Amino acid sequence: EADIYQTPRYLVIGTGKKITLECSQTMGHDKMYWYQQDPGMELHLIHYSYGVNSTEKGDLSSESTVSRIRTEHFPLTLESARPSHTSQYLCASSRSGAEKLFFGSGTQLSVL
Amino acid sequence: ELKVEQNPLFLSMQEGKNYTIYCNYSTTSDRLYWYRQDPGKSLESLFVLLSNGAVKQEGRLMASLDTKARLSTLHITAAVHDLSATYFCAVDRDTGNQFYFGTGTSLTVIP
């Protein structure tokens, strides 16, 4: 069973607020990912990390930032939330190499 | 640009019937993954296919990979209602650092 946790599960905030979505995994995985998914749509990669102090942007342009100070923690921050940021955010992790992704339960973000 | 396309996007089938979902991808890759997502839930890994000709089966689902054709199939045998979900295929680039997901196939099994 995967041990990857996301908080909060649901978040409703006003425009202009700064928010941080938390993601932690206890499996010692090197690689971590953030995906954005609109209802009924495909997943889009917004950020990923190979390991500590490594972060890269994915193909989907995003106004969010990430950090990877510890192996187990990969938070995503929006400095100023907008209604266009309303979406589901999924965190995932994997070991190095050709390994499947383990997904967290997701954060459903609504920006009013 | 890497593209991963699934066909069909929506599938409604009766219990007991067989059907195949197709996943085409545009890049060179020997690795393909299938995931299942229930409504409002996160994704769960179903299969990992790591080489040309790989075939894996779990219950009523069987996945295969043809890297030369850049095609993977997910075959459903004698569908049951519990299989209703959205199924995603995903490909990772040769670097193994980025996973690209298909458009998803929303499957509804009707009693």
Note the pLDDT tens digit of each residue in B8-32: 999 999 999 999 999 999 987 778 9
Q: Kindly determine whether residue A45 and residue B100, on different chains, have CB atoms separated by under 8 Å.
A: yes
Q: Which tokens go with B14? A: 């009766």
pLDDT attached to residue A32: 94
The residue among A19 and A39 whose pLDDT is bigger is A19
Please identify, in words, the CATH class of the domain defined by A4-111: mainly beta
A-contacting residues of B 19-78, CB under 8 Å?
31, 33, 35, 41-45, 48, 50
pLDDT attached to residue B98: 77
Residue of A nearest to B6 (CA): A42
- B79 within domain boundaries: yes
- B100 within domain boundaries: yes
pLDDT attached to residue A72: 96
Q: Kindly determine whether residue B31 and residue A42, on different chains, have CB atoms separated by under 8 Å.
A: no
Q: Which tokens go with A9? A: 């599960």
- B111 within domain boundaries: no
Calculate how close chain A gets to B73, using CA atoms only, in Å.
18
Q: What confidence tier does B96 reach under pLDDT thresholds 50, 70, 90?
A: low
d(CA A62, CA A33): 14
pLDDT attached to residue B48: 92
Tens digits of residue pLDDT in A92-105 = 999 876 578 999 99
Structural domains counted in chain B: 1
- B17 within domain boundaries: yes
pLDDT attached to residue A97: 67
Q: What confidence tier does A1 reach under pLDDT thresholds 50, 70, 90?
A: low
Read off the CATH number of the domain in which B40 is found. Answer: 2.60.40.10
- B32 within domain boundaries: yes
| Enclosing domain of residue B25 | 4-106
Tens digits of residue pLDDT in B48-90 = 998 889 999 999 999 999 999 999 999 999 999 999 999 999 9
Chain A residues in contact with B42 (beta carbon < 8 A): 90, 103-106
Helix (H) or strand (E) holding A19: strand A19-25
Nearest to A98 among B42, B50, B86 (CB): B50
Give which of A91, A100, A103 to mutate to test B binding, by max B Cβ within 10 Å: A100
The residue among B98 and B73 whose pLDDT is bigger is B73
Name the one residue in this structure whose structure tokens are 């920006």: A111
Calculate the CA B16 to chain-centre distance.
20
- B40 within domain boundaries: yes
d(CA B94, CA B107): 30
Q: Kindly determine whether residue B42 and residue A43, on different chains, have CB atoms separated by under 8 Å.
A: no
Q: Kindly determine whether residue A101 and residue B99, on different chains, have CB atoms separated by under 8 Å.
A: yes
d(CA A3, CA B103): 26
Tens digits of residue pLDDT in A47-92 = 999 999 999 988 777 789 999 999 999 999 999 999 999 999 999 9
Mean pLDDT of A10-19: 95
